[in-house]
Amino acid sequence: MTLLTTLSLLSIFLASPVVAQTWTSCNPLNTTDCPTDPALSTNHTYDFTTSSIGTTWNATAGSLKYSQTAGAYFTIATRGDAPTIQSKYYLFGGEVEVWMRAATGTGIVSSIVLQSDDLDEVDWEILGGNVTHVQSNYFGKGNTTSYDRAIWHPTSFQPQDDFHNYTTRWTKDEIEWYIDGASVRLLRSAEANGGKNFPQTPMNVRLGVWAGGDKDNPKDTVDWAGGQTDYDEGPFTMSIKSVRVKDYSEGKEYIYRDMTGSWDSIEIVPGNSTALKTLNAPPSLTASQRWNKLSPGGKIGVGSAVGVTSVALIVLAALYCVRQRKAGRRERAMADLAFERERTELSAYQMQMAKGNFAVSSKPF
């Protein structure tokens, strides 16, 4: 990325009260120096009611809170908040299934986004002020010359009231969107401008909530989001119980072989991905589990060491008490000596006063 591009991106972020989920740090259509995309290369479910986002996600804006009933809380508490997480891995074809309760609030947007480095994009967007519809959308290579790709899907429920399943299935030839297991939209590659606008490069997953209705956003954005956001009505919270992610490809990482951004230009590097190793790593043992795995001899050794350490601590504590008692006696003796000296000086002072040996100055102080 050039310095000019970096500064331009930074200025956009600083000027905007929100950080949207859709951006790229390096576009492979513009340079050959972009880093490779680490692959997920597996199927994994994240249960946010029992654990945090872990080490395979980045919190790119804001922070999350968790509960055992509602999972991860993405909360806009004040203007400028836009809590978002982004997967460190990429999918090259795959499925993303999210159990979400959308945030309330006029202008508040709850988002599930798949996006590639060259700005291919597949979305779910749910508006806090729309209780009857949710939106699916897609973009190819960041092409925003038209906004006729979005479709609003009617629901028999209010998305802000309870958790529902929003799933995206993506292959080389088609993308399908599901709500609670029922297909609501199918997009074939040829229908996206003859395939030119069809998302076809490795994508990561981004989940977040943002204020599309912020007063500093473009009027079209505020209108699309349902109107201007009143932050005094907040906080506004999107909740996600779980996320299931499946990568249809298997490999260590994905590489753009050229600057076309086509499906066939992507190279799948063989090997085990970092994400796969991390997710398959055995959990850390608790203290009791580590104890149970010790041999009888090992347990005796640990017990002996603990016993010796305990005795040593007891001896040290006793020595400390003795030293403190000695120090206390010395301090008491010194205090008694000082008291006797002060009492002697006071007696001498009283005797001098009685003899009238002290003069009183007539000069003012």
Active site residues: 121, 125
What does the buried/exposed string (b/e) look like for 217-227 if buried means 16 or more CB atoms within 10 Å of the residue's CB? Answer: beeebbebbbe
**CA 30 to each of CA 5, 9, 117, 166: distance values in angstroms, whole numbers, following the listed order:** 11, 15, 11, 33
- Under 8 Å CB-to-CB from 340, ≥6 apart: which residues? none
- Under 8 Å CB-to-CB from 174, ≥6 apart: which residues? 186, 187, 188, 189
- Write the DSSP assignment of 93-113 as a string of letters: SEEEEEEEE---STTEEEEEE
Length of the chain: 365
Q: Note whether 268 and 104 are within 8 A (CB).
A: no
Torsion angle, alpha carbons of 103, 109, 110, 114, to 10: 180
Bridge partners (DSSP) of residue 140 are: none
Tokens of 278: 């991390």
CA–chain centroid gap for 330, Å, is 58
Q: Note whether 136 and 150 are within 8 A (CB).
A: yes
Q: Note whether 242 and 71 are within 8 A (CB).
A: yes
